[in-house]
Amino acid sequence: MSVLEVLVLALAGFLGGIVNAVAGGGTFFTFAALVAFGMSTLDANATSAIALVPGSIATGAAYRHESAKYWRAILPFAVIGVVGGVGGALLLIALGDARFRPLVPWLLAGATMLFALSAQIRGLVEKIVGAGGIGPTGSSIIIALVAIYGGFFGAGMGIMLLAALALMGNGDFHRANATKNVVALLAQSVAVIIFIIGGLVRWPQAIVIMLAAIAGGYLGVLLARRVPETIVRATVVAVGAVLALVFFLR
């Protein structure tokens, strides 16, 4: 790697760690930086995924008390997360870079829309919950699909998981957030293991991003107390929209 590449990847990881800690969407920064320096979209996706896992572990650790308290309720969803993450990773590898690359702008655009419409999604979920929700079975099916997506690409996974869990209608935010963190962490972790076995991870780039993302995640926790989430989310949406447009035009 050149000095410029190290600096850009470190900056992308740092920014990714910050926004993941506050609102999510760090994948936009790291994935784009890796592709910008000539990495294939398949390897960039795998390398970005492993580089951001420590941040997910840190988030999960912050909710360890809630996870321990609700472990019986979380366990079935944890299993779904593992199975879905494996399925998504294997699907990605089976597609290969030639077939994955045309999907990238659509995935970026879809994830950007999720971030942009997160408030409306919450409002829609509240209406459905007010009408009785869709129950554990329906939510489990949605969570399974989201877990597959998480192993496949992952940007915006947290928003989708929280919405699916809210549709169960139990109204316990901390339980839902703890469940979301466990499912996301497991889906991403098993996907990363498969990516490593498949030889898709570029370790020098991954380590640079990982270290910077850890630092950014720590700062993100501090910023979360001072910077409104709407500002960070608006930044993520702007970056996602630009990236989606760039990939559509390439």
- What is the structure's pLDDT at 47? 94
Residue 118, phi then psi, degrees to nearest 5 = -60, -40
130 pLDDT band (50/70/90 cuts)?
low
229 pLDDT band (50/70/90 cuts)?
low
Residue 244, phi then psi, degrees to nearest 5 = -60, -45
CA 46 → CA 192, 205, 235, distances in Å? 7, 11, 24
Which tokens sit at 1? 């790697």
DSSP secondary structure letter of residue 167: T
Which tokens sit at 78? 């944890």
Pick from 26, 35, 16: nearest CA to 105: 35
Average pLDDT of the chain? 83
Pick from 204, 206, 224: nearest CA to 216: 224
Give exposure, 158-173, as e/b (b: 16+ Cβ within 10 Å). bbbbbbbbbbbbeeee
Percent of the chain with pLDDT over 70: 84
Q: How many Å apart are CA 108 and CA 240, to the nearest integer? A: 6
Pick from 2, 6, 4: nearest CA to 207: 6
Q: How many Å apart are CA 193 and CA 199, to the nearest integer? A: 10
Q: How many Å apart are CA 129 and CA 124, to the nearest integer? A: 9
Q: How many Å apart are CA 45 and CA 29, to the nearest integer? A: 11
- What is the structure's pLDDT at 196? 94
Q: How many CB atoms lie within 10 A of CB 123?
A: 11
pLDDT digits (tens, 9 = 90+) for 57-113: 766 666 677 677 777 878 888 999 999 999 999 999 999 999 998 999 999 898 888
- The residue-averaged pLDDT of 135-157 equals 84
pLDDT at 223 over 70: no
- 8-12, 47-51, 139-143, 229-233 — which one is most confidently predicted on average? 8-12
Q: How many Å apart are CA 160 and CA 176, to the nearest integer? A: 12
207 pLDDT band (50/70/90 cuts)?
very high
pLDDT at 24 over 90: no
* DSSP assignment of 202-223: -HHHHHHHHHHHHHHHHHHHHH
Q: How many Å apart are CA 45 and CA 81, to the nearest integer? A: 19
- The residue-averaged pLDDT of 23-31 equals 81
- What is the structure's pLDDT at 185? 85
